[in-house]
Amino acid sequence: MKFLILLILVLAGGYMFPQVYEQVDGPCQSVEKKLVRDNTENGLENSIISNVALAISNGDLGERIADDKFPNLPSRLGCLAVYYNMPEGKS
């Protein structure tokens, strides 16, 4: 029983981590925010352009990326898989 509770806590933490770390509402939005953060120069991740791009998309771009890379998974789980498989940017 303890193992089951521990497993549930670990899975819930793994599901919630990208959303909390990136300060967004869903896993697909966390993929987008990580893409913007990794592809912008240092200091520009909070620029007006990147914020507007994230506001307009609202997770749709991350969902499409997840559907392309993991077509057999539901979108939210695919976004988590993409998030955890993305290499860290140069910082």
User: Helix, strand, or coil here: 56?
Assistant: helix
Question: At 60, is the pLDDT very low, low, confident or very high (cuts 50, 70, 90)?
Answer: confident
Confidence of residue 27 (pLDDT cuts 50, 70, 90): very high
32 pLDDT more than 60: yes
Cα 44 versus chain centre, distance: 19
pLDDT in the model for residue 68:
92
Distance CA 24, CA 19 (A): 5
For residue 74, the model assigns a pLDDT of 93
Q: Which helix (H) or strand (E) holds 13?
A: helix 2-22
Between 91 and 65, the higher pLDDT residue: 65
pLDDT in tens, 65-86: 899 999 999 999 999 999 999 8
